[in-house]
Chain A
Amino acid sequence: MALPISILICGAVSVATLYLMVQHFIRCRRQEGLSLEELDRRSERLVRELKRLSGLQGEQRLAACRTIAEEMRWHSGFLLSIVNDWRYDNREKEDETTEPAIAVYREARELHRMVTRILFLMRFRPSLLKDCHRLREAARQFGRMWEAFSRFCQAQIPNELEGLEPPI
């Protein structure tokens, strides 16, 4: 028996809404208690895994790639929470910070999409990840995300950060 089209339309809308809300709720919970110490720890882990990568093969290499991708994804969530909190708490700077904030959101979202794809391929099609061009692209995106964040910081507190140019 064919489903009425109304079930497909309404079902899709309600499932999508519920999914996005629950995903946001889980992400908010994970981002509670973020700290600089956590950032330092994860940044060191990211760089350490990258250094090890050249000497690894097979499953070990795959595991290192997975760690790198997961750490990058964490960084994107971390930056998003910082930007979100700062913008909400400093509404008087709405004009200056909207576009830089949207830029951070855009770059972080793109990074999240890239690393999610990498993790998906690792699980189901690891053969497509033999070279590391996807990870390399994700690393470039990682840099773009942090660059956008630097610009946001400068828009937020320009006087205090004067002279601290974001590296290209």
Chain B
Amino acid sequence: MYPFSGLVFTGMPYFHSIDYIPWIGSTIAELLVVGIMLRRRLVRSFPIFFISIAFDLLREITLPAVGFHSALAYGYGYWLSAPIEYVIGFGVMVEAYRHSFGADPRVPAKTLWMLGFAGVALVGLAVFLVLHPDLPTTNLSGLVLTLNRSLELLSCGMLLFLWIFASRLGISWRHHVWGIVFGFGIYSTMGLSVATVHAITGTASGDWLARVTHFSYLAATIIWTVYLWKPEPERGPVTLKEISLASHLIERYRRMLAQLWRLFLNGATD
């Protein structure tokens, strides 16, 4: 999730003033996220997400310091930390799934089969893209770009399935979880698009497209800050108001349905 992947193979000359915006902006936003999570005691609810933010902060502070001395060292440092980033990223998505499912999810067998099949298909596609690369993978840059694209596909695909199967799985969305997933979604979709183009052109940096990833990460950190800053409403067990609402809704439904049947049975709509 670090904005300076562009420095990997081409060095510092491609770093411009505009690149300060996503770098400093996302660093500030991440500091705010860490502060909010500590203050609101959200670390216990989303520990893996907290680790991902802390990891990124550490990287965003450490790697530029390395980069200003040696672009090559920066490049190796970035790509060596990329697998850790992906593992943590997948961990955050699993955390979001678990948080949405609740303590003891009852997933219908049919849905589980569909999800499993979709997961296998997704992994198969990712492997296919590695085995049939658009660039030669005999050199390091081609291999890295090809692998990066497949990992981005897995990451984005997991989020896609989360949305497609949300209603079949009975997932209930609420404020903080939705905000985390939304931010990840924005970043993953942009990352996948950029990684796809780069894996075809062989460009790893220096183009305007690389900045799309940087700014999408900045957008994700702002989304996280906003959603985590707003507290979720505290609600306890079912209240009298909710019971009254349920009764009113069901009564309303009875009357409405009676009227509907009367109208259709009488042929009012012919």
Contact = CB atoms under 8 A, between A and B. Distances in A.
In this complex, the interface size class of chain A, counting residues with CB under 8 Å from chain B, is 35 or more
B160 A17 contact: yes
In this complex, the interface size class of chain B, counting residues with CB under 8 Å from chain A, is 35 or more
B170 A101 contact: yes
B99 to A, nearest CB: 10
A6 B134 contact: yes
B163 A20 contact: yes
B172 A88 contact: yes
Contact of A132 (B252, B261, B269): B269
Interface string A50-91: 110110000000000000000000000000001111111111
A135 B200 contact: no
Interface string A122-138: 00000000011001100
Contact of A43 (B103, B185, B197, B252): B252
Tell me the dominant secondary structure on chain B's binding face: helix
Contact of B106 (A39, A43, A98): A98
A164 B159 contact: no
B192 A51 contact: no
Contacts of B193: 10-11, 14
A34 to B, nearest CB: 11
Contacts of A6: 129, 132, 134, 149, 196, 199-200
B163 A17 contact: yes
A88 B173 contact: yes
Interface of B: 102-106, 108, 125, 129, 132, 134, 149, 152-153, 156-157, 159-160, 163-164, 167-170, 172-174, 178, 182, 185-186, 188-190, 192-193, 195-197, 199-200, 235, 237-238, 242-243, 245-250, 252-254, 256-261, 263-264, 267-270
